[in-house]
Chains A and B, each alone.
Chain A
Amino acid sequence: MKRQFSKSRPVIWAFFSSVKLTVALLIILAMASVVGTLIPQTEGVAEFAKGLSPAVRKLFVFFDLFDVYHSLWFRILMGALTLNIVICSLDRFQGTWKRFTARPRPDREKPFQDIPGEQTFVIDSPPADMAERVHDYLAAKYRKMRAKEVGTEGYFYAERGGYSLFGVYLVHMSVLCILVGGLVGSFLGFEAYVNIVEGESVNTVVSRKERSPIELGFEVRCDNFTVDFYENGTPKEYRTEVTFSADGKRMKQEAIRVNHPAVFQGVTFYQSNYGTVPGNTVHLSISSQGGGPGARHMKVEPGKPYSLPGGEGTFSITDLRTNIMDIGPAAMVSVKPEHGQGIRFWVFKYQDRAKKILPGPMLNSPKFNASAFEPYTFTLAGLDTRYYTGLQANKDPGVPVVWIGFFLMVAGLFVTFFISHRRIWVKVSQQAQGLVVSVAGTSNKNPVGLQREVNTLTLSLKNLLQGDRQV
């Protein structure tokens, strides 16, 4: 294509409008992305870095190789691609616009050079309204229909699919749209998480990057959490029922499942994980050796003091775990006798398992001896647990922009790949043997498709002009 202003344009313009640069940038971006999948990013960085010599580690840190995709140089590459797209599009748009609006003369001879014999046929007694018929037929199927008579010869021109010339611009703009959407999200959005115990509410979430709290401006309450399992034990569904309230008013109730997030005031909540925390009731059983007051079951609330069976003092539960070191539930019992030193020790629900898992020295220390306060032996009979739900809480105002980009990209690719700009010329000339009709066509791509179209058109015109004989 001729570029009228190429002389006056600076070198930098030529550089950024070149497709060679595009190929280079796309390949470099691909290679940089490979690097990012081979070197641990964020997770597992510490262990990996330990195995490197200090000099290499410094180099890695200098080039941000532990966070390639957010590094300055990666962003510069993306910026260069953006500039490349913008300048290339600006550079070429004028030419495309000219081609789109061009009105080629109908009486051109060049398209008819070297056309195969099948694209020409002879009608010995053409109908009188021959010209109108061809005209109407082409006008119905094509756009920008033009006709011209030169002496005994009639010329027709028509085209279609001109708009497909802009498909490429749509694709390129869609890339920009997606990049802009990503940028908007990274500046104006956040990624955070929050754990909510059943029955409780929160109004802040914790940012994943900075690990700092973010005020939501509204409250989320976890009304209920359930998890279902298949027969083979794999999880089937997690479900959290939440209530959103703002300014003390309940605004919205919704169930969050995996793949079914809930949105409230621009923040989207996703089911992410779950767990249990101890509830408010601990079932303890206390027995005593050697003629004490006998075994006794007690339901106790953590933190509250209770009298020992023989009145020697009080005890309370000062720590509770639903699962400690894979042993199962455990409670810390703190005993405060009337006289003498207080004592604290862990009591397990599965004492036998604790004996297997805990190392010897630990077992022998009073901290793990359930009979440390004589004459009593404490046993943890049971523990009420409550679920907490782990929610991912994200805000990303760039998402709609990215979605638009996706749509434009798919639409643009369809138009670019599957629709071509086809131009058709038809020439009719009165000659000795009758009316000679020739059909020619050009297309910017898909020559096979064009040939098929020209062949069909030739056949249709033949039928159209011969059809009169039966009348």
Chain B
Amino acid sequence: MINSIILSYTTFIYFAAFFLYLLCMVMGRTGFGRLATLATLVGLIAQSLAIVLRWIESYQLGIGHAPFSNLYESLIFFTWTIIFLYMIVEWRTKNRTLGTFVTPLAFLAMAYASFSPGISSKIQPLVPALKSNWLISHVITCFFGYAAFGLSFALSIMYLLKQRDTPEKKNLFLRLIPEQSILDELNYQMIVIGFLMLTLGIITGSVWAHSAWGSYWSWDPKETWSLITWLIYASMIHSRMVRGWKGRKIAYLSFIGFCCVLFTYFGVNYLAGLHSYAK
């Protein structure tokens, strides 16, 4: 299984990228930054390759399906979307500071997928309920949503850190973080993208549930938690229209929102799970 080997190497590449981004901010040398971007790009390309290989391999095993069907594959794809989205933001904003806060998320998710004993990296056949064209669109939209919320979470941490920056403080790390107004604007853009994607994710999931189980909404814990997440981000979008609710409050809400995302993703398995396909 060459794909799993490439993927476990990718974990280290992302860790290296994180280290380089951090060095760049602590030492203030752009040389490290360039290397960090290069490492991230190499990681992304290797990971894309591994995903495609895994897809091909599943067909060679005679159980061909898109590699989005179990926890291992979903964590890999989550990492991929978050790095992909980050690369776009880095390219558009020409600023690398966000990398220091995003690459750890990617690295942790990859490490969890590759090295946690409870997670099997084997390619498994699809149970009948998962055999649907909705699977691909559902997974892609959900995970782009999660990734955008992940970036928003990282931006919120930066926002709160930047608050501690004062001209007297000669802290290079804090000084390199962009202005709060820029962070706030970018944060809102991420929330908007995430909200649109999560909406699409819930809708595709709903349509799929309707064709598989006969009901587009059945209040199962995973569905409900995705709705909770959606409601939190909807309230965030509106709270910008209430006077004075910018910046810090949005940063805290984004914090709560991302906790909801994580709970929707992992935590729900600890509740009475109807969404488990293992049954």
Contact = CB atoms under 8 A, between A and B. Distances in A.
A275 to B, nearest CB: 15
A270 B216 CA distance: 13
Interface string A172-192: 000000000010000000010
Contact of B203 (A23, A410, A414): A410
A235 interface: yes
A24 to B, nearest CB: 8
A23 B253 CA distance: 12
B236 to A, nearest CB: 9
Contacts of B199: 409-410, 413
A26 B213 contact: no
B120 to A, nearest CB: 12
Interface string B52-80: 00000000000100000000000000000
Instruction: Tell which of A258, A259, A413 has the most Cβ of chain B within 10 Å.
Output: A259
Nearest to A29: B231
B271 A37 contact: yes
Contacts of B211: 259-261
Contacts of B108: none
Contacts of A236: 125, 128
A22 B128 contact: no
Contacts of B2: none
Contact of A392 (B128, B214, B216): B214
B225 interface: yes
Interface string B186-204: 0000001101100110010
Given A33-B224, A33-B227, A259 B241 contact: no
A20 interface: yes
B171 interface: no
B132 interface: yes
A62 interface: no
B29 interface: no
A271 B124 CA distance: 22
Contact of B235 (A30, A399, A409): A30
A451 to B, nearest CB: 13
Contacts of B34: none
A111 B129 CA distance: 58
A413 B199 CA distance: 9
Given A37-B225, A236-B125, A261 B271 contact: no
B231 A258 contact: no
A239 to B, nearest CB: 9
Given A30-B228, A69-B219, A235-B127, A258 B212 contact: yes
Interface stretch (A38-46, A118-126, A463-471): A38-46
A238 interface: yes
A399 B200 contact: no
A399 B225 contact: no
Instruction: Tell which of B203, B217, B225 has the most Cβ of chain A within 10 Å.
Output: B203
B125 A232 contact: yes
Contacts of B207: 403, 406
Given A40-B272, A230-B125, A259 B132 contact: yes
A246 B192 CA distance: 51
Contact of B206 (A33, A43, A406, A417): A406
A41 B241 CA distance: 36
Interface in A186-222: 191
Contacts of B219: 36, 41, 69
Interface string B217-246: 101010011011001101100110110000
A237 interface: yes
Contact of B195 (A27, A260, A406, A413): A413
A38 B196 contact: no
A26 B272 contact: no
Interface string A236-265: 111000000000000000000111110000
B215 A191 contact: yes
Given A30-B232, A230-B63, A399 B196 contact: no
Please tell me the size bucket of the interface on B.
35 or more
B128 A26 contact: no
A260 B212 CA distance: 7
A413 B192 CA distance: 9
Interface string A397-424: 0010011001001100110010000000
Contacts of A272: 213-214
Contacts of A394: 214-215
Given A230-B125, A410-B203, A22 B238 contact: yes
B214 A270 contact: yes
A44 B272 contact: yes
Contacts of B225: 33, 37
B139 to A, nearest CB: 15
A23 B128 contact: no
A414 B214 CA distance: 29
Nearest to B126: A236
Contact of A258 (B129, B241, B268): B129
Nearest to B235: A26
B235 A23 contact: yes
Nearest to B218: A191
Interface string A255-294: 0011111000000101110000000000000000000000
B195 A392 contact: no
Interface of A: 19-20, 22-23, 26-27, 29-30, 33-34, 36-38, 40-41, 43-44, 69, 182, 191, 230, 232, 234-238, 257-261, 268, 270-272, 392, 394, 396, 399, 402-403, 406, 409-410, 413-414, 417
30 contacts: A19-B241, A22-B238, A23-B242, A26-B232, A33-B224, A36-B224, A37-B221, A37-B224, A37-B225, A37-B271, A43-B272, A182-B217, A191-B215, A232-B125, A234-B125, A234-B127, A235-B128, A257-B128, A258-B128, A259-B128, A259-B131, A259-B132, A259-B208, A259-B212, A270-B212, A271-B128, A392-B213, A394-B214, A406-B203, A409-B203
Given A27-B232, A259-B128, A394-B214, 12 more contacts: A19-B238, A33-B231, A37-B221, A37-B268, A37-B271, A234-B125, A236-B125, A270-B214, A272-B214, A402-B206, A410-B199, A417-B196
Interface of B: 63, 124-125, 127-129, 131-132, 192-193, 195-196, 199-200, 203, 206-208, 210-217, 219, 221, 224-225, 227-228, 231-232, 234-235, 238-239, 241-242, 268, 271-272
Closest 8 CB pairs of A and B: A258-B128, A26-B235, A30-B231, A270-B214, A394-B214, A259-B132, A392-B214, A230-B125
